[in-house]
């Protein structure tokens, strides 16, 4: 697969799991992975946003770009080589004609779409009368490499694939009332509404299909190396279920595009579409 930014064409390749983990561990990029987005005050019975959002209380799920030239750390871990990575960023921006990183991201957003997700405030509404709380948003990113070997250009594109929300209580004005609400809705304490971000463009679909396909293959290898499905950890099982759900949504979208008169996609069973 290829994408073009201005006159520069980039080949797209999925990245191995170890590279994805190293890229997403960057302190700056991690701010886009997890952030608090909403706060509710039970005494005032008012909520307020903690992040930029639309009038409909939808939070932009920003795409990202990373310039990551790897090096091996003292413990054998993959790390970012700062000076070469900075130089690569300068070279990519110069080649594409981007004056700022925002210019480059705007060009990419036109290709892959900039998604947003309305906050599922209704899911947490039973807590409103009895507790003050904050809602955090977790974005699970697909990562692919965009490279032009002839010009020695490389960057990594981060595309939201799934989004999940969870809350933490900050104050309980009435403990008895709070306990009664949890007794009536026991799943509320650990509620984490999660959604697959729908691919709105063919490029978005293609890029994420590459990334999710590679992630599934890597996870299957990891599980086999650990002793097979019976020996898989709970974290591996959860990750496998999440990836499988997103893969089904991507494949369903591809099938629906081939039948333009279809009525659209059915929500995924485990993770709904954003």
Quick one: pLDDT band at residue 253, thresholds 50, 70, 90? Answer: confident
Provide the pLDDT for residue 273: 53
Q: Domain of residue 110: give its range.
A: 2-197
244 belongs to a structural domain? no
206 belongs to a structural domain? no
167 belongs to a structural domain? yes
Quick one: pLDDT band at residue 269, thresholds 50, 70, 90? Answer: very low
Average pLDDT over residues 169-185: 96
52 belongs to a structural domain? yes
CB 197 within 8 A of CB 274: yes
237 belongs to a structural domain? no
Mean pLDDT, all residues of the chain: 90
Number of domains in the chain: 1
Q: Which segments of the chain are extended strands (E)?
A: 2-5, 8-14, 34-41, 46-49, 58-60, 64-66, 70-72, 78-80, 116-118, 132-148, 153-171, 194-196, 272-273
Q: Higher confidence at residue 74 or residue 40? A: 40
63 belongs to a structural domain? yes
Q: How many CB atoms sit inside 10 A of residue 197's CB?
A: 24
What percentage of the chain carries pLDDT values higher than 90?
Answer: 78
Quick one: pLDDT band at residue 234, thresholds 50, 70, 90? Answer: very high
Identify the CA nearest to 217 among candidates 14, 2, 5, 34.
14
Provide the pLDDT for residue 261: 46
22 belongs to a structural domain? yes
CB 15 within 8 A of CB 50: no
| Mean pLDDT lowest among 10-19, 70-79, 106-115, 154-163 | 70-79
d(CA 9, CA 3): 6
161 belongs to a structural domain? yes
The predicted model scores a pTM of 0.86
Average pLDDT over residues 166-177: 96
Q: How many CB atoms sit inside 10 A of residue 92's CB?
A: 24
């Amino acid at each position: 697969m290829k994408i073009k930014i201005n006159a520069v064409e980039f080949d797209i390749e999925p990245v191995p799991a170890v590279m994805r983990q190293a890229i997403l561990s960057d302190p700056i990029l991690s701010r886009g992975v997890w952030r608090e987005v909403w706060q509710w005050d039970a005494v005032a019975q008012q909520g307020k946003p903690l992040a930029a959002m639309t009038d409909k209380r939808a939070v932009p799920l920003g795409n990202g770009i990373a310039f990551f030239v790897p090096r091996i750390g003292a413990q054998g871990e993959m790390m970012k080589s700062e000076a070469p990575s900075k130089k690569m960023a300068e070279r990519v921006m110069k080649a594409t004609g981007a004056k700022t990183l925002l210019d480059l991201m705007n060009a990419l957003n036109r290709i892959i779409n900039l998604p947003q997700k309305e906050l599922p405030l209704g899911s947490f509404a039973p807590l409103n009368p009895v507790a003050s709380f904050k809602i955090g948003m977790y974005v699970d990113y697909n990562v692919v490499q965009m490279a032009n070997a002839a010009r020695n250009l490389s960057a990594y594109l981060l595309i939201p694939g799934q989004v999940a929300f969870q809350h933490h209580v900050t104050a309980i004005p009435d403990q008895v009332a709070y306990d009664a609400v949890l007794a009536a809705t026991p799943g509320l304490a650990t509620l984490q509404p999660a959604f697959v971000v729908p691919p709105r463009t063919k490029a978005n679909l293609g890029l994420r299909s590459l990334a999710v396909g590679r992630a599934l293959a890597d996870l299957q290898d990891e599980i086999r190396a650990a002793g097979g499905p019976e020996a898989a950890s709970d974290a591996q099982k959860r990750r496998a279920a999440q990836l499988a759900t997103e893969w089904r949504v991507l494949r369903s979208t591809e099938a629906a595009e081939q039948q333009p008169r279809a009525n659209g996609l059915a929500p995924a069973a485990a993770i709904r579409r954003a």
